[in-house]
Structure 1
Amino acid sequence: MLSRRSQGFTLIELIMVIVVMAILTIGIGRFVSLGTEGYLQTRDREQLQSQARFAVERISRELRDAVPNSLEITSDGQCLAFKPIQYNGDYVNPSLTNIDVITGFITQTIAPQFQSEMILVINPHKAQDFDGVSDQAAKVKAINKGTESNQWQFELDGQHRFGSGSLAQRFYVYTHSVKFCIESNSLTRMTINNSGIESQPILLAQYIDTNLSAFELDNAALARSALVAWQLTFTRNGETSRYNHTVQVMNAP
C-alpha cells in the first residue's frame, strides 16, 4: 500500500485547481483591463480638454487685438478672419483732406518699425474700408520720429483724402490678416499679408467635429462692441467635449 506522502493529486483535484486558477486569472485580467481602459479614457479626456483650453485661449487673446470692424466669418461659419493691430494711437492732424502724413501718438511704448505692406486705417465700418484704395485706408511708405515724445509720423504713399474721421481721433496700422478655420476635423491658423499671399496653415487642435463646430459674429452696435462666439466640439474614442465661448472685441473706431 502506498503511503499518503507518495500519493499524487487525483484528476478531480487537478481539474478543480485549473478551474479555480482560470476564474482567478479572468477576474484579475478583467480588473487590469478596466483599469487600463479607465486610464486611456482619462488620458483622452484630458488631451481633448487641453486642446480646447489652448484653442479658446489662443483665439480669445488674438481677438483682443483685432482692428475694429475687421472681423469676417464665412457663410458656413467655418472660418473667422480679422486684421490684428500692429500699431494704434491718436492722430493730431487738423484735417484729413489731401494729406500725405498722419501724425500721432501711439499707445505702444516701443518705437514703431516700418514694414512692407503696412496699411493705416481711420474710422473703418465695413469690409471695403480695409481696401488699400478705399477712402478710409492708405498704404504707409515710411515712419519718422515726430517733434514730441512718443509722437510719430506715418508717411503715406501719396496725398490721400479720408472719407471720414474718428470721433476719438484714433488710427490703426496693420500688415496682415489672421484666419482661423475649422476643416478636416482640425482647427488651423494662417496669416494673409496685404498682398493676398497666404502662409501655410498651422495646426492648433485636432479631433473636432466640423458638423457641430462653428463661428458666429454679432457686429458692433451703438451700445456695445462686436461679439464673436464659437462652438467647438471635440470627439475622440467615444469621448465628447463641447465648448461654447464668446469674446467682446473692445477696440472701437
Structure 2
Amino acid sequence: MQSRRLQGFTLIELVMVVMAFITIGIGRFVSLGAEGYLHTRDREQLQSQARFAVERITRELRDAVPNSLEVTDDEKGHCLAFRPIQYSGDYVNPSLTHIDVISGFLTQTVAPLFETNMMVVINPHKPQDFDVLSDQVAKVTAINKGTAANQWLFELDGQYSFSSGSLALRFYTYTQSVKFCLENNSLTRTTIHHSGSESQPILLAQYIDTNMSYFELDNAALARNALVAWQLTFIRNGESSRYNHTVQVMNAP
C-alpha cells in the first residue's frame, strides 16, 4: 500500500516564511528612513543655497552706486546689473564747469588707490547717466593727496562740465559692473570691467526654476531710495522652496 503524503508546512518552512516577512518589514523601514534622510538633506541643501544667495546679493547691493541698478533680459538670461562703489565722498569744488580735478573728502579713512579705467560719477539718476558720453561721469587718471586731512584730488583726463551737481555734494568712483543672472536653472555672478571684458560666471546657486524666479526694480523716488525685489524658486527631487526678498538701496546721489 502506498503511504499518503501528509498535508501542511514543516517547522523549517514556517520559520522561513516568518523570516521573509520580517526581512520585508525591516527593508521597508530602512527604505523609508533612507528616503526621509535624502529628502531632509535635499531640503537643507536648497535652504542653504537660498540663504547664501540672498545674503550675497543683499550684501553687494548695499554698496551699489545709486541709480546704477538695471534689470535686463538678454542672452545671459534674466539679470540684475549694478556698479559697486569703489570710493565715495563729498566734493568741495565751488563749480563743476570746466574742471579737470575733483577735490573731495572720502568717507573711507584708508588712502585710495588708483586703478585703470576708474570712473567718477556725480548725481546719477538713471543707468544712462553712466554712459561714457554722459555729462555726469568722467574718467580718472590719477589720485593725489590734498592739503587737508583725508582730502584727495581726483585728476580727470580732460576738462569736464557736469550737467548737474549733487544736493549733498556726493561723488562716487567705480571701475566695474556686477551682474547676477538667472540662467540654465542657476544663479551666476559675472564681473564686467569698464573696458568691456567679462569674467567667467561664478555659480552661486543651482536647482533654480528660472521660469518662476525673477528680479524686480522699483527705481528711487523723492520720498525713498530704490527697492530691489527678487523671487528664487528652488526645485530638486520633487522638493520645492520659494524665497522672496526685498532690499532698499540706501545710497543716494
Q: Structures share a fold, TM > 0.5?
A: yes
Cα distance in 2 for residues equivalent to 1:124 and 1:11: 91
Q: How far has the Cα of 1:111 moved from its partner?
A: 0.5
2:64 paired residue among 54, 66, 71: 66
Cα distance in 1 for residues equivalent to 2:26 and 2:109: 65
1:13 paired residue among 6, 11, 14: 11
Q: Which runs of 5+ in 2 are unaligned?
A: 1-7
2:85 counterpart SS class: coil
Deviation per residue, 1:34-80 (Å, 9 max, x gap): 11111111110100000000000000000000000000001488100
Structure 2 residue 228 is the aligned partner of structure 1 residue 217: no
The one-letter amino acid of 2:46's match is L
5 Å matches for 1:1-253?
Answer: 11-75=9-73, 78-253=78-253
Cα distance in 1 for residues equivalent to 2:91 and 2:186: 42
CA contact (8 A) 1:91 1:105 kept: yes
The one-letter amino acid of 1:18's match is M
CA contact (8 A) 1:70 1:126 kept: yes
CA contact (8 A) 1:119 1:132 kept: no
2:189 counterpart SS class: strand
Cα distance in 2 for residues equivalent to 1:45 and 1:128: 42
The one-letter amino acid of 1:52's match is A
2:133 counterpart SS class: coil
The one-letter amino acid of 1:241's match is S
State the partner residue of 1:7.
none
How many percent of aligned residue pairs carry the same amino acid?
78
Deviation per residue, 1:151-181 (Å, 9 max, x gap): 0000000000000000000000000000000
Q: How far has the Cα of 1:249 moved from its partner?
A: 0.3
Q: How far has the Cα of 1:132 moved from its partner?
A: 2.2
Cα distance in 1 for residues equivalent to 2:235 and 2:188: 17
Aligned residues: 244
Q: How far has the Cα of 1:133 moved from its partner?
A: 2.5
The one-letter amino acid of 2:89's match is G
Cα distance in 2 for residues equivalent to 1:91 and 1:177: 23
The one-letter amino acid of 2:167's match is L
Q: How far has the Cα of 1:147 moved from its partner?
A: 0.4
2:203 counterpart SS class: strand
1:28 counterpart SS class: helix
Cα distance in 1 for residues equivalent to 2:9 and 2:236: 51
State the partner residue of 2:5.
none
Runs of at least 4 residues of structure 1 off by over 4 A?
none
CA contact (8 A) 1:117 1:140 kept: yes
